[in-house]
Structure 1
Amino acid sequence: MPECLPNPPVVCVIIDAQKVVAQGYTRAPGKNHAEADALKQIQ
């Protein structure tokens, strides 16, 4: 978690039909937030 400060630590999980298809978390400042991190995995 310290790597993402001063951003708040956030986790994002994308589920389709009760199956996890992507997971993301807040990266270091200037990098992806949790949602963008997860979405990159399914594009």
Structure 2
Amino acid sequence: RDGPAILQKAAQTCTPLQQALETWKDVSFNYASTDTSDYATTPSVA
């Protein structure tokens, strides 16, 4: 939630961070996950 404000404040004293934020400002990483589980359920002996 507070991430963007924290990054903007940190960028005031960090030129590389400021440049990165400017470069990536319009990029969105919102996508549906395509990961599938890598395990199979095995029956347990009880």
TM-score by length of 2: 0.22
Point out the structure with max Rg over C-alpha. 2
Richer in helix (by share) = 2
Higher relative contact order (CA 8 A, sep 6+): 1
TM-score by length of 1: 0.23
